């Protein structure tokens, strides 16, 4: 069992206080957005044996187990994070596996440098993800019923939104959503900036259902993503609740602290709320124009106390244990690789005592006994 030393990424949208508070350290004054746990080459966790990338590469079958290597290849297929949003992240969507392979191969064929700002596909993998709230957590997830969005737009009294209202009331639903998103993202920038300003003022004045959208223009003035964001469901997670974001589902995280797990990929197509490249044609190819509820997940408890967040993919499986004082020692030994992360209290994992924010890597088949008082997240795969 390897104790992990993890990198904190200082993205501009990160909270300056949430991760330091979890770790029990003084804030630096700089944003601290994400703490990465895993074997992503961009910021691999470090162990006494070297980086987790090097440890796994030295003997993939020993570290990951034969079943995981056969199913996913010789690398850890997930990336675990603590995410702290102090400002809204970009409105974004992720491709499915086939779209990622096709997009990556096409950009490779055209010779687009992998670090080019207009590059869409950094790798050939999909990026399903799950966010589980540690604090109250605000986000946008999936398209709202277009009729409901039309009513919201009408309630603002902004003349330049009226064409979108007419489109949203049209049928079929998928075509209506596609036409509105296309119109918003391809509108004249000056006209859109004026629409955003009027819409933001109206949202601020009215509050209520409009409140989540009122602050977006403060961070991204004139950005068409402010209007695009109003097409989506707003959701407020309570601690322990989660969202699963599959391929093609537009989403954005607005504020809060959470545990995030995803397939080991960097593929993001942005819809707005960002100064970065927005490839509208490719975005429209990937987005699923379906109206759905946000789909809040709550864990399902097993007889041994493991609370599992069920998702339809195999690259990751997230669960948690809420350990009570004087409770039994639990055997978490598993034939697949694991990362164990403490988020509250004090948990003993093998010889390691984990405080909040501390984690260990457990190789496939390695004995993993845990005890203590606190909350422990377990990340593994289904193989």
In degrees and rounded to multiples of 5, residue 182 shows phi and psi of -60, -45
Asked if residue 49 has pLDDT above 90, the reply is: yes
Q: What pLDDT does residue 70 have?
A: 97
Band of pLDDT at residue 37, cut at 50, 70 and 90: very high
54-112 tens-digit pLDDT: 999 999 999 999 999 999 999 999 999 999 999 999 999 999 999 999 999 999 999 99
Q: What pLDDT does residue 326 have?
A: 85
Asked if residue 217 has pLDDT above 90, the reply is: no
Band of pLDDT at residue 11, cut at 50, 70 and 90: very high
316-356 tens-digit pLDDT: 999 999 999 888 999 999 999 999 999 999 999 999 999 99
Q: What pLDDT does residue 73 have?
A: 95
180-198 tens-digit pLDDT: 999 999 999 999 999 999 9
Mean pLDDT of 198-213: 94
Q: What pLDDT does residue 284 have?
A: 94
Mean pLDDT of 118-137: 95
What's the mean pLDDT when you consider all of the chain?
95
Question: Which candidate in 3, 46, 144, 270 is catalytic?
Answer: 270
Respond yes or no: is residue 270 known to be catalytic. Answer: yes
Q: What pLDDT does residue 25 have?
A: 95
Percent of the chain with pLDDT over 90: 91
Task: Give the separation between CA 161 and CA 226, rounded to whole angstroms.
Answer: 12
Band of pLDDT at residue 42, cut at 50, 70 and 90: confident
Mean pLDDT of 214-238: 94
């Amino acid at each position: 069992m390897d104790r992990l030393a993890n990198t904190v990424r200082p993205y501009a949208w990160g909270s300056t206080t949430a991760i330091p508070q979890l770790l029990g350290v003084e804030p630096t004054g700089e944003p601290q957005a994400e703490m990465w746990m895993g074997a992503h080459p961009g910021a691999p966790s470090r162990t006494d044996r070297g980086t987790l990338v090097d440890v796994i590469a030295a003997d993939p079958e020993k570290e990951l187990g034969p079943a995981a290597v056969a199913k996913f290849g010789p690398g850890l297929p997930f990336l675990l994070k603590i995410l702290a949003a102090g400002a809204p992240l970009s409105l974004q969507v992720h491709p499915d596996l086939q779209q990622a392979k096709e997009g990556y191969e096409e950009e490779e064929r055209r010779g687009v440098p992998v670090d080019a700002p207009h590059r869409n596909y950094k790798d050939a993998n999909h990026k399903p993800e799950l966010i589980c709230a540690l604090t109250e957590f605000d986000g946008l997830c999936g398209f709202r019923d277009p009729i409901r969005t039309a009513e919201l737009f009408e309630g603002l009294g902004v003349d330049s939104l009226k064409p979108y209202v007419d489109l949203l009331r049209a049928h079929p639903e998928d075509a209506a959503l596609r036409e509105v998103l296309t119109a918003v993202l391809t509108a004249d920038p000056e006209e859109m900036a004026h629409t955003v300003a009027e819409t933001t003022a109206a949202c601020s004045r009215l509050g209520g259902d409009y409140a989540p959208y009122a602050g977006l223009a403060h961070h991204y003035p004139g950005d068409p993503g402010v209007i695009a964001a109003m097409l989506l469901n707003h959701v407020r997670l309570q601690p322990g609740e989660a969202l699963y974001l599959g391929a093609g589902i537009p989403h954005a995280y607005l504020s809060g602290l959470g545990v995030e797990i995803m397939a080991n990929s960097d593929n993001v197509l942005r819809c707005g709320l960002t100064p970065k490249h927005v490839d509208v044609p490719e975005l429209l190819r990937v987005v699923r124009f379906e109206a759905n509820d946000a789909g809040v997940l709550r864990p399902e408890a097993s007889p041994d106390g493991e609370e599992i967040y069920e998702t339809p993919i195999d690259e990751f499986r997230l669960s948690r244990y809420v350990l009570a004082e004087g409770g039994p020692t639990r055997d978490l030994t598993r034939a697949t690789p694991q990362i164990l992360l403490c988020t509250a209290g004090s948990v003993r994992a093998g010889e390691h005592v984990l405080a909040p924010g501390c984690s260990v890597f457990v190789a496939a088949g390695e004995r993993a006994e845990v005890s203590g008082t606190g909350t422990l997240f377990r990340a593994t795969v289904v193989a």
